[in-house]
Amino acid sequence: MNESRISVRYAKALFLSAIEKNILDRVNQDMIHVKEISGLPDVKTILANPVITPSRKTTILHGLFEKDLHELSMGLIDLAVKNGRERYIPSIARVFIHETKNYKGVTESVLTTAVKVDPEIKKQVSDLIEKLFRTKVDLKENIDESIIGGFILKVEDNYIDASIRNKLRKIRAELVSGAYEKRI
């Protein structure tokens, strides 16, 4: 079974249990915390290391999470370790968070710019996306100096690349293909 199918199955089981117990928001916060912590290099190494015994991994993970997580979230982590699926914990958390956003009608969007965006402009972009897509928006900001200027906006499967880097790439392609010579 591939990684994505495993992660989806565990995440959906947790998601359905959280809805049934009416603790979706709490478990979602847990999964955000799990995703952050399990993304740390040392924790990744522990999760992926086959030499560390499952009982030792369980002890380590309880030490990391037990005080902060709901028992349902902790139960998922215990089950993943018991079944030898602990290396999938970060992707299970990611899938769960995505499922929760879909359930709540929230669209993840990413605005990439060369410099930090003014909060007012960020709000205007968010409002525009909400209006056009008729959805709540979770707008993440990404700074990438290599785009030089302009912006790249990703909303669901829609992608707008209005960056200077992209425009320069198009001009270069036209120059290389000789498109300007043909016009003269």
Model pLDDT for residues 21-62, shown as the tens digit of each residue? 999 999 999 999 999 999 999 999 999 999 999 999 999 999
The yes-or-no verdict on residue 180 having pLDDT over 90 is no
Instruction: Identify whether residues 131 and 159 lie together within a single domain.
Output: yes
Instruction: Identify whether residues 61 and 42 lie together within a single domain.
Output: yes
- Six token digits for residue 9: 């199955």
Domain boundary residue, one of 102, 121, 155: 102
Domain total in the chain: 2
- Find the domain containing 116 and state its range: 106-183
Instruction: Identify whether residues 7 and 98 lie together within a single domain.
Output: yes
Tell me the CATH number at 142: 3.40.30
Model pLDDT for residues 108-149, shown as the tens digit of each residue? 899 999 999 999 999 999 999 999 888 899 999 999 999 999
Instruction: Identify whether residues 85 and 19 lie together within a single domain.
Output: yes
Place of tokens 């997580």: 69
Q: For residues 156 and 27, which has the higher predicted lDDT (pLDDT)?
A: 27
pLDDT at residue number 60:
94
pLDDT at residue number 175:
85
pTM for the complete prediction?
Answer: 0.76
Instruction: Identify whether residues 147 and 175 lie together within a single domain.
Output: yes
β-bridge partners, 155:
109, 158
Strands of the chain, DSSP E: 106-113, 136-143, 150-155, 158-163
d(CA 176, CA 164): 18
Q: Is 1 helix (H, G, I), strand (E, B) or coil?
A: coil
Instruction: Identify whether residues 135 and 93 lie together within a single domain.
Output: no
Instruction: Identify whether residues 168 and 128 lie together within a single domain.
Output: yes
Instruction: Identify whether residues 154 and 89 lie together within a single domain.
Output: no
Model pLDDT for residues 91-111, shown as the tens digit of each residue? 999 999 999 999 999 988 999
Tell me which residue of 65, 91, 76, 85 sits closest to 23, measured CA to CA: 76
d(CA 115, CA 149): 8
Instruction: Identify whether residues 91 and 23 lie together within a single domain.
Output: yes
Close Cβ partners of 150 (under 8 Å, ≥ 6 residues apart): 113, 114, 162, 163, 164, 165, 166, 167
Q: Is 183 helix (H, G, I), strand (E, B) or coil?
A: helix
Tell me the CATH number at 91: 1.10.520.20
